[in-house]
């Protein structure tokens, strides 16, 4: 199982906690999927009011690790303030860092992301940066202290899957010892399995489960797909080839 900042988690599947039809459905989705990490938006949940306390109690009862995030932040200052709130509220140094640069695509701001990551790492945070598969950007994030990278598969909430297989594969080859998580854009379990077959350590998703007709069943499907893909990656899969090759030997066949 993957290890993030020295902590081994129980699953290669990470689930968001937004948009579910009800708290009961959210809890059922986590139970059936076996997800090991729950991401929580600090901007959405208030620690002091009753609704926030009820939500936090639900997350604690799931028995999974919590990864607060700075979802919806469009500036370095906003992301840093949200991260500080998250550490106080959830008592963890983990933070999923989002600094959004484009409102339509929700693409990360690479300049703001590196700046915020550097300041958070210096302040003792263990940063999980939501980024693109850009190799130069990822190298800068590692240089400023990030020990996990979370490149998108496609824009958040689109369900398009893995838009840049070459880029994701190159990232895996370039950072063989850095935990890599495909974050955002996955819509089907087969896409999650593909990410694992590329050698990624985990996937993070929300909309594909929360907005499914049966969120708990879809969560379970993603959990199974992630494990299947991870197992396939370690099984030395066959190489693709241009020419057909018979699976049944022709030696010893009767000649007519």
Catalytic site positions: 96
Would you state the structure tokens that stand for residue 233, as one six-digit string? 């990656």
Read off the tokens for 167: 């880029």
In contact, 197 and 237? CB cutoff 8 Å? yes
Residues facing residue 10 across a β-bridge: none
Q: What share of the chain is helix, strand, coil (3-state, %, to 5)?
A: 40, 15, 45
Torsion sign across C-alpha atoms 87, 3, 166, 218: negative
Closest by alpha carbon to 149, among 177, 134, 163, 130?
130
How many helical (H) and strand (E) elements, i.e. helices and strands, does the chain have?
9, 10
């Amino acid at each position: 199982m993957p290890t993030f900042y020295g902590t081994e988690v129980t699953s290669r599947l990470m689930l968001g906690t937004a948009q579910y039809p009800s708290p009961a459905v959210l809890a059922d989705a986590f139970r059936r999927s076996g997800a090991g990490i729950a991401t929580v938006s600090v901007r959405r949940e208030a620690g002091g009011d009753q609704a926030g306390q009820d939500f936090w109690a639900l997350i604690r009862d799931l028995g999974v690790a919590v990864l607060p995030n700075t979802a919806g932040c469009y500036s370095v200052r906003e992301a840093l303030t949200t991260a500080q709130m998250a550490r106080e509220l959830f008592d963890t140094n983990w933070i999923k860092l989002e600094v959004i640069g484009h409102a339509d695509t929700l693409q990360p701001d690479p300049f703001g992301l590196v700046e915020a990551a550097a300041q958070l790492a210096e302040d003792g945070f263990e940063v999980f940066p939501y980024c693109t598969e850009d190799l130069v950007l990822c190298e800068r994030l590692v240089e400023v202290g990030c020990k996990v990278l979370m490149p998108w598969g496609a824009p958040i909430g689109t369900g398009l899957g893995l838009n840049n297989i070459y880029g994701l594969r190159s990232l895996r080859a370039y950072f063989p010892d850095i935990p890599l998580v495909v974050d955002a854009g996955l819509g089907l379990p087969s896409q999650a399995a593909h990410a694992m077959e590329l050698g990624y350590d985990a996937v993070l998703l929300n909309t594909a489960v929360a907005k499914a007709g049966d969120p708990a069943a879809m969560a379970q499907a993603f959990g199974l797909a992630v494990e299947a893909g991870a197992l396939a990656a370690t099984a030395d899969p066959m190489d693709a080839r241009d020419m057909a090759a018979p699976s049944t030997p022709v030696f010893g066949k009767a000649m007519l």
